[in-house]
Amino acid sequence: MRNSKLLISQALKTISGNLERTGDPLGLRSPYWTRWTRRIDLPRHGSPLLFTARMYQMLPFVVQATEMAEKAAPLVPALSVKTIAKVVEIAGAAAAEPILRLRARRARDLRNRAETALAGIVAALAAAGILPGYLYEKEPYSGVLLYDLGMEAAAASAARGVHQTLKEAGVDTVITVDPHTTFMLRQVYPRYIPGFRLPVRHYLEVLAGVGAMPKPLRRTGLPVRIVMHDSCVMTRDLGVVAPARTVLSRLGIEVVEPENTKTDTACCGGPVEYAFADLSRSISCIRAAELAGACRNVLVACPICLINLMKHEKDLGIRVWDMGELLFHAFASRLREAAPQRPSEEPDGKGAAGVRAARI
Amino acid sequence: MNRDEAERKRLLAEFAKCRSCRFCVDVCPTYQASCGVESFSGYGRMQIIKYLLTGLLEFDDALTYCLYSCLQCRRCEVVCKSKGQNLDICDLIQRGRRLLSGRLARGGRHAKL
């Protein structure tokens, strides 16, 4: 609690400064968010567009940044917070990127899981006859953290930037992969941008809405029963509850409901991790224990929930799955089927994939 | 009347609708994790913003921690709606933060509401 005022002040400055300087909340310049596409080749243009907003890709960096902040905490009584904050601010622009990159390499397991989740989402969409476009290095960040922190002017500026990018790419439908970005695009952007009416659909809504989603190609490794952790944003902000359950039933997985579920779900503690790691851990511990009491396999469909609940995997003997990981197990071979027809070789992006992209 | 002043009045009018039933307190994950400190709940945070806006409280580290530790998970709103009051608690807290964040980013330790 001590120095919270300065801590929040510094967090606000750092995040908005990073975004202003590099367009990335972590202040990283090289496009770490495209690494997952090594597994699959998506068209660079066309609609629908897959918009990840870098959320899954930044997980290893977020974990490392939080750990570094936690380790620096004992130094606070010795040096003043202001001194530390100033050093971080000055060094941040030059030194943060290589340090974060180096440390994030150690979080290889998390990076693999995040990349697998994204590949799984694309594989399932491909199985449903939808091959979305992807902006690769041009993909912007949604500005959701700025909005959550109350930095409205900066969030509005980020929203306008995203809108411009999507407009230039000729996108008429967006498929999102996480609840936070979906919330921003669907409910916040229209407040900032008059006339913003882009159809925005979460991938689970798309998959649940497809009449004939094929059965899983491979069942090996898929759990038989799983307890569902609903995301607060997904259920209470967006009112999306049924699609995840529809997709699970199509995968042949039995859903176990915990005590607090659907619109009465309990938070994973993720939203305050950027500044109050102890509090965040206490909240996630309470939720993880509740879920572990229902089933050892826990399902999330949000990158923030994933990193917060997976901290307790060893302690509680649970396995936290992201929905994308399940989809990867079920439909991974679809990626190989989609790969040979490379639409990126066609500059106008209206190649095979553009034609094959089903209407959603 | 500038924009902040108008927002201050609107927020106070909203807070006046709260009937202090405190049903939103128990369900807050931060309240549960902090072993029952009411300041870490929807009701507690609304009270903090109200008294900051009326000048009865001064903005300090403890209050910053309380306000910025809100998860914005809206669990409090589910209870508030089910009890017939229908306050958008998280939205009100978020609006309070908006008034603060610009000043915090500029003023750091010396920021005031």
| Cβ burial A190-217 (10 Å sphere, 16+ → b, else e) | eebbeebebebbbbbbbbbebeebeebe
Whether B37 and chain A come into contact, CB under 8 Å, resolves to no
Lowest-pLDDT range of A87-101, A246-260, B93-107 = A87-101
CA distance B19 to chain A (A): 22
Q: What is the pLDDT of residue A343?
A: 42
Task: Please say whether the beta carbons of A230 and A259 come within 8 A.
Answer: no
Task: Indicate whether A139 and A90 sit together in one domain.
Answer: yes
Q: Is the pLDDT of residue A295 over 90?
A: yes
Task: Indicate whether A40 and A166 sit together in one domain.
Answer: yes
Q: In this predicted complex, what is the ipTM? A: 0.90
- The last residue of one of the domains, among A211, A235, A252, is A211
Task: Indicate whether A207 and A234 sit together in one domain.
Answer: no
Whether B57 and chain A come into contact, CB under 8 Å, resolves to no
Task: Indicate whether A178 and A240 sit together in one domain.
Answer: no
Q: What is the mean pLDDT of residues A191-210?
A: 94
Q: What is the pLDDT of residue A356?
A: 40
Q: What is the pLDDT of residue A65?
A: 79
Does residue A336 lie in a domain region? no
pLDDT band at A150 (very low <50, low <70, confident <90, very high): confident
Q: What is the pLDDT of residue A105?
A: 62
Q: What is the pLDDT of residue A336?
A: 61
Task: Indicate whether A153 and A276 sit together in one domain.
Answer: no
Does residue A4 lie in a domain region? no
Token pair listed for A293:
């009491």
Task: Indicate whether A150 and A102 sit together in one domain.
Answer: yes
End-to-end CA distance of chain A: 48
| Cβ pair A269:B111 closer than 8 A | no
Task: Indicate whether A143 and A96 sit together in one domain.
Answer: yes
DSSP-H helix ranges across B1-113: 3-15, 23-27, 29-33, 42-53, 61-68, 75-82, 89-107
Does residue A342 lie in a domain region? no
| Cβ pair B29:A283 closer than 8 A | yes
Token pair listed for A156:
């509005």
Q: Which domain holds residue A62?
A: 11-211
| Cβ pair A149:B97 closer than 8 A | yes
Domain boundaries along the sequence of chain B? 3-103
Place of tokens 């060893």: A314
Q: Is the pLDDT of residue A86 over 60?
A: no
Task: Indicate whether A138 and A177 sit together in one domain.
Answer: yes
Does residue A359 lie in a domain region? no
Does residue A352 lie in a domain region? no
Tally of domains within chain A: 2
Cα separation, B111 vs A249, in Å, equals 52
Task: Please say whether the beta carbons of B95 and B11 come within 8 A.
Answer: yes
Q: What is the pLDDT of residue A352?
A: 36
Q: What is the pLDDT of residue A81?
A: 47
Does residue A351 lie in a domain region? no
Better-scored residue on pLDDT, A319 or A274 = A319
- Which CATH number do you get for residue A252? 3.40.50.1860
Q: What is the pLDDT of residue A217?
A: 65
Q: What is the pLDDT of residues A88-124, one digit of tens each?
A: 554 455 455 666 666 666 678 899 999 999 999 999 9
Q: What is the pLDDT of residues A16-58, one digit of tens each?
A: 889 989 999 988 888 999 999 987 889 998 789 999 999 999 9
| Cβ pair A269:B71 closer than 8 A | yes
Task: Please say whether the beta carbons of A96 and A27 come within 8 A.
Answer: yes
Per CATH, the number for B3-103 is 1.10.1060.10
End-to-end CA distance of chain B: 16
Task: Indicate whether A311 and A178 sit together in one domain.
Answer: no
